[in-house]
Structure 1
């Protein structure tokens, strides 16, 4: 991504502007480009909307620096290996304090 995406501003605009929301859902790539947000070659944007009865869980791509042993530790409840929030994946010691 060539520009920092202000995720909060995009979501707030989608909440307040039904035409923008529909445009974002229909063709997120073009809509973001119109905002000056250029994504890399070959990157596909898929915009979905949660409702009262449908919630989407986004699985982030696996960080290249996380081992299978680290993943097993995370599954077993060790929060110091990695913390995942909707906007970022933090890895390393004490990741819950830096994320």
Structure 2
């Protein structure tokens, strides 16, 4: 796992453990991240959303401009074995 993925997981873990922190992050993401020692580049707006039992947010990343079609296949996420991985799917053997 790379450093960015580790930082992201730590942020998620803190949201799960600390409801007040999660609410601050939802209300004011840039300030909350800066308060945690994160860097938010000038001119970048951060939007934080939360998945619930009734709502699953799907984020469409910016399309890379430097990759071939073959390269794009290697960076796409959320697809395992031809099916979408849903974090609320609790069937045995399905990870999400």
Fold conserved (TM > 0.5)? Answer: yes
* Structure possessing the higher relative contact order (Cα contacts under 8 Å, 6 or more residues apart): 1
Map 1:24-43 → 2, pairs under 5 A: 24-43=25-44
1:82 aligns with 2:83: no
Map 1:38-49 → 2, pairs under 5 A: 38-49=39-50
Which structure is larger by alpha-carbon Rg, 1 or 2? 1
Distance in 2, Cα, partners of 1:80 & 1:61: 14
Equivalenced residue count is 74
* Alignment RMSD: 2.2
TM-score (norm 1): 0.66
**Residue ranges of structure 1 left out of the alignment (5+ in a row):** 71-78, 87-99
TM-score (norm 2): 0.68
